[in-house]
Chains A and B, each alone.
Chain A
Amino acid sequence: MTDEELDTFAGQLDQILSSVASVGEVAAADVPPTSHAVPLTNVFREDAPREGLSQQQALSGAPAAEQGRFRVPRILGEEQ
């Protein structure tokens, strides 16, 4: 990064931080965090099967496929 860029970004960073900090003025301890903007509960679906995608459609966006399955590179690390 050039010194010039650093000067530009330092100013921007400062702006960003102060904008975010203004949220803190509103979010007092007695205001619970919002997870949902709409006050809805209990939206359920019937337990009735619906046609999904065909295997061909499902795999159409896959970078690689084999034996009707998505093919992924070697997984490093342990089994989950």
Chain B
Amino acid sequence: MTATLLDYDEVLERFDPVLGLEVHVELSTATKMFCGCSTAFGAEPNTQVCPVCLGLPGSLPVVNGAGVESAIRIGLALNCEIADWCRFARKNYFYPDQPKNFQTSQYDEPICFDGYLDVELSEGEIVRIGIERAHMEEDTGKMLHVGGATGRIHGADHSLLDYNRSGVPLIEIVTKPIEGAGARAPEVARAYVTALRDLVRSLGVSDVRMDQGSMRCDANVSLRPLGTETFGTRTETKNVNSLRSVQRAVRFEMCRQAAVLTDGGEIVQETRHFHETDGSTTAGRRKETSEDYRYFPEPDLVPIAPSHAWVERLRATLPEKPAEHRKRIQADWKLSDEELRDLVSAGAVELVEATVAAGADSEAARGWWVSYLLQQANTREIELAELPITPEHVARVIALVAGGELTTALARQVVDGVLAGEGEPDAVVEARGLKVVSDDSALTAAVDEALAAQPDVAEKIRGGKVAAAGAIVGAVMKATSGQADAKRVRELILERCGG
């Protein structure tokens, strides 16, 4: 069923969008939130489980102190207040992804509340996004739906559960309503999630990979007629799993809701599924209210009361904020405002830094990430960081070029090889035979051959028309499949012609 959409400009003529973003960040602690099971990714199903995370009778949870510290550090980085006393709560629901029949979460006493994050838009403007809360909870198990055509729940015959992920620490970060963004609402949503990702990554508490599910975004969108105050009914688009998708999902919901409202219809409060293929959303379940979850304080876990000293100790561990960090690299790498903005909007800051840390020159590193590699990412419609090439690979390619072992053209072929999964740069050079032919005797032979093939050109060069050498250089490059250093070839031609 295709939804009717109102043209974006028309949406904005009539309506004012209000957003609310809920982001789940999976912490990279070694163990789960309430038991000592490993959180390592990729293990055989149900091998990182214990009586606690399987919800077996008689088991008792104990809080992972590192998880609490990560939560507090995220809260501090988001300029939040830290609760001096708070509890966990049971969120009761009946669904097999949680074997306990409840998720251990926090309800009315989040550990972090009332903060903000300053977000930079592409034009350089700063928007302040209010943070309602950041609370601790746990992830659910992974479901596999069997017997259906598409692996989806509909039409499945039965489902299979792997509880390795069940109990992995999550921090849920909820914004205050984002009002007044107007036409830029989709961009603001994306910019916020980008800034949050960079911030959390800088804290080193999560690898925040949206493509791998360690950061997930739910986007709440509602519309109200322009000039009115009361919020409209909202929908919640679940699990939007890339930055680009966040932007698309918000825009789609704005256009869809506007069409429904303009047609005299009503928005139903529901969850919606986002579809990567066409950027659309479809109806999910009717949204439960918090009453449906029968929250109550978790009796098996004692309250958490972070002391002032503890919080201050954690505050002292906060790294430089991404915005300040950018100012510093701008100075270090001598970038113009525009160059910095390109770097940031490409999502390349950390990648370039890592490439520099691996020994590359900052300008060369920047050149690779924001031009050739960015093109590759755009072609594949993925984020730069999702390209299957590491900063170490790029640094190695840069070193090979700097050492004269590769020309820029050859280096691109090496990068193509790495992106195609052919292995490390050196392995690609080897397998594809891409080394610059620096052996003078081989080059000289190729030069002699080319001169012999074009005697008239050779004559001109001997007669002093050095410019004519270009044709011979071209022939040699062709003969060596572009693997010769053009400058050296030229020198050899002139040498052979007695220049």
Contacts and interface: CB of A to CB of B under 8 A. Distances in A.
Nearest to A39: B302
A42 B62 CA distance: 10
Contact of B158 (A42, A47, A73): A73
B159 interface: yes
Contact of A41 (B35, B49, B156, B303): B303
A41 B96 contact: no
Among B35, B99, B143, the one with the most A-chain Cβ atoms within 10 Å of its Cβ is B143
B213 to A, nearest CB: 15
A65 to B, nearest CB: 8
A44 B85 contact: no
B120 interface: no
B37 A74 contact: no
A45 B34 CA distance: 8
A42 B31 CA distance: 18
A70 interface: yes
Interface in B42-86: 44-51, 53-54, 56, 62-68, 85
B391 interface: no
Interface residues of B, number: 60
Contacts of A74: 156-159
Contacts of B143: 75
Contact of B160 (A54, A58, A71): A71
B293 to A, nearest CB: 12
A71 B141 CA distance: 13
B160 to A, nearest CB: 4
B285 interface: yes
Interface in A29-46: 35-36, 38, 40-46
A4 interface: no
Contacts of A50: 31, 35-37, 50
A48 B32 CA distance: 10
6 contacts: A46-B65, A52-B37, A52-B47, A69-B161, A70-B46, A71-B158
Interface of B: 29-31, 35-38, 44-51, 53-54, 56, 62-68, 85, 87, 93, 95-97, 99, 140, 143-146, 152-153, 156-163, 271, 273, 284-285, 296-297, 299, 301-306
Q: Nearest 3 CB-CB pairs, A to B?
A: A50-B36, A44-B65, A52-B50
Given A36-B303, A52-B49, 17 more contacts: A35-B299, A43-B301, A45-B31, A45-B62, A45-B65, A53-B50, A53-B51, A54-B47, A55-B45, A58-B47, A66-B146, A67-B160, A68-B45, A69-B144, A71-B160, A79-B153, A80-B140
